[in-house]
Amino acid sequence: MKAMFATKISMLQHVCVVPLARATRHRSFTISASASTTGTPSRNLTVSSPTSSSRAPHVDPRVLLGMSEHDLQQLAVEFGQQSYRGKQLHHLIYKRKAKEIQDFSHLPQAFRNDLIEAGWKIGRSPIYHTVTAADGTVKLLLKLEDNRLIETVGIPVEDEKGSMRLTACVSSQVGCPLRCSFCATGKGGYSRNLQRHEIIEQVLAIEDIFKHRVTNVVFMGMGEPMLNLKSVLDAHRCLNKDVQIGQRMITISTVGVPNTIKKLASHKLQSTLAVSLHAPNQKLREMIVPSAKSYPLDAIMKDCRDYFAETSRRVSFEYALLAGVNDSAEQARELAELLHEWGRGYHVNLIPFNPIEGSEYRRPNKKTVSAFAGALESRKITVSIRQTRGLDASAACGQLRNNFQKSPLLIESDREESQSDVAVAC
């Protein structure tokens, strides 16, 4: 993963305010509390070839967002404060959603100064661009510290009683190395994994835009979550415990990465696992999802069966309907047979293709979608058809980001230094 940060953390200069020994203790503590181990693509996966530097992003340990209340209390004590200051930090970060340490008006100015001079930051990124669709869906581009852009989408749904369910669709990587043939994110290239705070901040940004609490989170944005599993799990913990979104309101999606579903099952989360299947047989799946060559369909289905046995949580299968490719009634029957072979209670979420520029695929008509769903239901497979949202907001995953960026946005002072890196970034 590529690290091209435009600004570098300054060295401590005011040692009279923050003694050097204390600052060193802070660094040691936060590496264990905050650093994320990034995922690495399986050796046999068919992926793009990021440069070696892009595989190891700079992980800044001095980021408050993502830390638990206990960790923040410990940090406060490290700075010579009483532990209740850590509780105040927690409230300011997750409830008040402060974006700058100087916004911590309830904390002593000296404590704020100490945090800033020791290199601490909250970890919130500015919104670079916003698009609002006619149906209320909002897509944001966040500009990260290394000037890369990531997408997150807010999807509001109002029920009959007037209550709103607000779903945040979050990204786990900058781009994606798996290059599924129908996906705009893969066409935009791959840069690096996201750190945990860069995942969490997407949810807070959606809450800021809507002035409403996010009720559901789906890891279905840019990237393959299982290739960044450590950061995804760290973010999941924070979203559940600190942002207070129920585990059952969180969905982790994957196209399938060998051995990772087993790892996820070992954590016994109550969240939903959504597997992007997109085909009823191995040959067609390899055409649509190139990485499927290293993860045979029987193997992924066995892992899904074992996941259910381990967690008692039903696996949901995502199936993007591509006109004339995988949307026939015969293919629906084949899919039903596959699911019955490997267990019971599976759910299929049909997703009519969201058209993207330059794609050879087309969106099936409503009659074809309905016939496909009917063929599954007649064979006792639970089916839902995803309502297409944000078509006029470039809402297909990666679509808006590709309109703006396939390489980092450079500030003038870094342009010459980074020029060679940009040439190979994406």
Active-site residue set: 151, 397
Distances (CA, A) of 220 to 151, 199, 212, 302, 383: 11, 12, 21, 23, 19
Please give the order of strands across the beta sheet that includes 164-169: 127-132, 138-143, 149-158, 164-169, 216-219, 250-254, 272-276, 315-321, 347-352, 382-385
Q: CA 208, CA 245: separation in Å to the nearest integer?
A: 16
Reference 29, options 75, 67, 64; nearest CA is 75
Residue 198 phi, psi dihedral angles, 5° rounding: -75, -20
> Which position has the token pair 């800033």?
116
Query: Three-state SS string across 31-46, please?
Result: HHHHCCCCCCCCCCCC
Could you tell me if 88 and 224 are in contact, meaning their C-beta atoms sit under 8 angstroms apart? no
Q: Rounded to 5 degrees, what angle do the CA atoms 39, 142, 190 make?
A: 40
